[in-house]
């Protein structure tokens, strides 16, 4: 079956957001008198949305009220500082341009706040991502690994699961694709190692955006 649409995760897949995420989390921690995290700690904590990131940053035993206060501080700060060091991974823009020219539709589906996802997609992928959606649980759309976000974008595209490919860099993405009934490709340039991806059940891995494009366009 041919691939008519590619749905991408954002952090660690199309954008290297790690430094800006680290700086935002550490700004929030400093505001609450908490010690800073290392880059590798933040790398391990991202993937399950901003709430989970804050929960892990505060550590076990943090009160729910403190989590809520810090989350409310973090979200607008990150929105205002999410485009300082963030950049597309090398080769991602040529990949997306190549797929668009071949008639493959594209979208971005991320657990990060919806406002940040839309702003980043507009800045870095204008005219390439048909849809860019982030966390919208207040609207009853559950975050990944629930299938809701992928299902919603597919419905907007009017495409069945067999026509879509989901591309991500983490165990969350592998599980999300399985829950949504989509084929999954895991990239090795993101926030998880090849070994971590294989342990999470990755079936298809690619090492470069060019290889991903070859795989998509070679699909029968």
77 and 144 in a single domain? The answer is no
pLDDT mean over 102-107: 98
- Going 165 to 196 to 188 to 219, the CA torsion angle's sign is negative
DSSP calls for 13-39: TTEE-HHHHHHHHHHHHHHTT-PPPPH
pLDDT mean over 87-109: 98
2 vs 217 pLDDT, higher one: 217
Domain range for 74: 18-81
* Range 170-185 burial, b when 16+ CB lie within 10 A, else e: bbbbbbbbbebebbbb
What percentage of the chain has pLDDT greater than the value 90?
91
70 and 145 in a single domain? The answer is no
CA distance 135 to 115: 9
Q: At which of 63, 81, 99 does a domain end?
A: 81
99 and 197 in a single domain? The answer is yes
Q: At which of 62, 81, 100 does a domain end?
A: 81
The pLDDT of residue 1 is 59
Report the chain's mean pLDDT, rounded to a whole number: 95
DSSP single-letter state for residue 10: S
The pLDDT of residue 60 is 86
125 and 73 in a single domain? The answer is no
The CATH number that applies at residue 181 is 3.40.50.1000
92 and 192 in a single domain? The answer is yes
* Total domains present in the chain: 2
Catalytic (active site) residue 169: no
Q: At which of 65, 81, 97 does a domain end?
A: 81
The pLDDT of residue 61 is 85
Other Cβ atoms within 10 Å of 60 Cβ, number: 6
What band does 48 get if pLDDT is binned at 50, 70 and 90? confident
CA distance 11 to 109: 10
Taking alpha carbons only, the member of 216, 195, 173, 209 closest to residue 14 is 209
61 and 96 in a single domain? The answer is no
Q: Which one is catalytic: 9, 20, 148, 173?
A: 9
65 and 96 in a single domain? The answer is no
DSSP calls for 66-97: HHHHHHHHHHHHHHHHTTSS-EEPTTHHHHHH
150 and 194 in a single domain? The answer is yes
- SS3 assignment, position 164: strand
193 and 145 in a single domain? The answer is yes
Residues with Cβ within 8 Å of residue 98, at least 6 apart in sequence: 213, 217
- Predicted TM-score of the model (pTM): 0.91
């Amino acid at each position: 079956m041919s691939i008519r649409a590619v749905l991408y995760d954002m952090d660690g897949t199309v954008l290297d957001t790690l430094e800006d995420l680290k700086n935002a989390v550490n700004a929030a921690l400093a505001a609450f008198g908490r010690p800073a995290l290392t880059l590798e700690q933040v790398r391990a904590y991202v993937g399950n949305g901003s709430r989970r990131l804050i929960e892990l940053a505060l550590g076990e035993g943090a009160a729910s009220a403190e989590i809520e206060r810090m989350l409310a501080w973090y979200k607008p700060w990150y929105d205002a500082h999410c485009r300082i060091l963030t950049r597309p991974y090398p080769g991602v823009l040529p990949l997306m341009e190549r797929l668009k020219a071949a008639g493959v539709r594209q979208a971005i589906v991320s657990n990060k706040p919806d406002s940040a996802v839309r702003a980043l997609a507009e800045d870095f992928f204008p005219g390439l991502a048909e849809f860019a959606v982030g966390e919208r649980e207040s609207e009853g759309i559950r975050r990944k690994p629930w299938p809701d976000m992928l299902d919603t974008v597919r419905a907007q595209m009017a495409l069945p699961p067999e026509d879509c490919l989901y591309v991500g860099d983490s165990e969350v993405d592998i599980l999300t694709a399985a829950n949504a009934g989509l084929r999954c490709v895991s990239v090795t340039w993101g926030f998880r190692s090849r070994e971590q991806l294989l342990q999470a059940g990755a079936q298809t891995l690619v090492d470069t955006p060019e290889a991903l494009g070859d795989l998509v366009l070679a699909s029968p």
